[in-house]
Amino acid sequence: MGTLVAVTLAAAALLQLVAALLALRAMPHSGIYRYPWIALSLALALMVERRVVPLLDFHDGMADLLDALFALLISALIAFSLVGLDRLLRAIRAHEEQLTRLATTDALTGLANRRHLLSELEKELRRAERSGRPLSVLMIDLDHFKDINDRCGHAVGDEVLAAVAARCRARLRAVDLCGRSGGEEFVVLLPEAEAEGALTTAERLCADLAETPIDTAGGPLGVTISIGIATHRPRSPSTDEKAEDEATRLAQALLQRADDALYRAKGGGRNCVRVDAGTSPANGGIVADGGHLAPGSR
């Protein structure tokens, strides 16, 4: 009987230790409930001592089989419950990540959606104001996209949109953010990029699409894009945090300037880049047509 009691007490102590370790293992998945989970983990770890003491007292005849079985049952139930809680926390975290992706990502292209774009643009504008560094925006529109849908069908049109998104991602820096603002229109945020750098990037994107047809289910398809550029230049670094409505106003104004430049690119024959008048480095304007940079007027 004594040996059975000792084994039971030892098993209870071991299971209690396992429960504490399981709680610690699940802690990274506890999210905003991290601190309560830390408290739970510490409580379970301290309870190991409550399982070890009877085992030490066993030699003095102070432990019996009933107490040992009761301790074993409690520890087993705690360990079993924590296995389930660990799986629950992992499932919750996975669902949270999935919901975040759905809320911020365009389903067709995998790019940022309009809401996420606007949110990130406001954040980047605040950062630009603090650092005194510029921020450029590209407004991209596929040329004659309605004709593609009418001639080839919407399925091919979706293939084209996805391919354009993939090419844009491949030509951008890791810090840049490309998103689909709606329909066949895309927006690219270029943190700390002056007009010259934004123009080089836009020219590269424009030339890449014009020179390499897109493979679709209906065969290779030639696609071109038009791009408008606008750059925000803070006057000097500022420690004053922009109010939310002020950041929203700046974001809308910057997008409108880029959209105006895009409108001129569309009116200028498409497959070209136009820089917003307030953005142009030389105030005389820079025009990029057909993949070639050249001075030009507006």
pLDDT in tens, 72-122: 787 787 788 778 788 888 888 888 888 888 889 999 999 999 999 999 999
Task: Evaluate whether 286 touches 295 at the Cβ level (below 8 Å).
Answer: yes
183: left (phi over 0), alpha (psi -120 to 50) or beta: left
Would you state the pLDDT for residue 138? 97
Helix or strand or coil: residue 26? helix
17 three-state secondary structure: helix
Query: What whole-number distance in Å separates Cα of residue 29 and Cα of residue 90?
Result: 6
User: Which residues, including other chains, have CB under 8 Å from residue 111's CB and lie 6 or more apart?
Assistant: 105, 165, 168, 169, 178, 179, 180, 186
pTM: 0.68
* Neighbouring C-alpha atoms within 13 Å toward the C-beta of 14: 6
Q: How far is residue 217's CA from residue 210's CA, in Å, rounded to a whole number?
A: 19
pLDDT tens sequence across 20-78 = 888 888 888 777 777 777 887 878 887 777 777 776 665 555 457 667 777 778 778 77
- CATH classification code of 114-295: 3.30.70.270
Quick check: 121 and 254 in contact, CB under 8 A? Answer: yes
Check if the beta carbon of residue 229 is closer than 8 Å to that of residue 279. yes
pLDDT digits (tens, 9 = 90+) for 164-212: 999 999 999 999 999 999 999 999 999 999 999 999 999 999 999 999 9
Cβ atoms of residues 251 and 125 within 8 Å: yes
* Chain-centroid distance, C-alpha 155: 27
d(CA 241, CA 170): 33
Rg (CA), the chain: 31
- Is 274 or 70 the better-scoring residue by pLDDT? 274
Task: Compute the residue count for the chain.
Answer: 298
**Catalytic sites, residue numbers:** 184
Alpha carbons 276 and 254: distance in angstroms, whole number: 10
What the block records as the tokens of 282 is: 């030389």
**Mind listing the pLDDT tens digit for each residue in 109-162?**
999 999 999 999 999 999 998 899 999 999 999 999 999 999 999 999 999 999
Each residue's pLDDT tens digit, 221-231: 999 999 999 99
**Would the pLDDT of 284 be above 60?**
no
Helix H segments across 110-153? Answer: 114-131, 145-152
**Bigger pLDDT: 285 vs 187:** 187
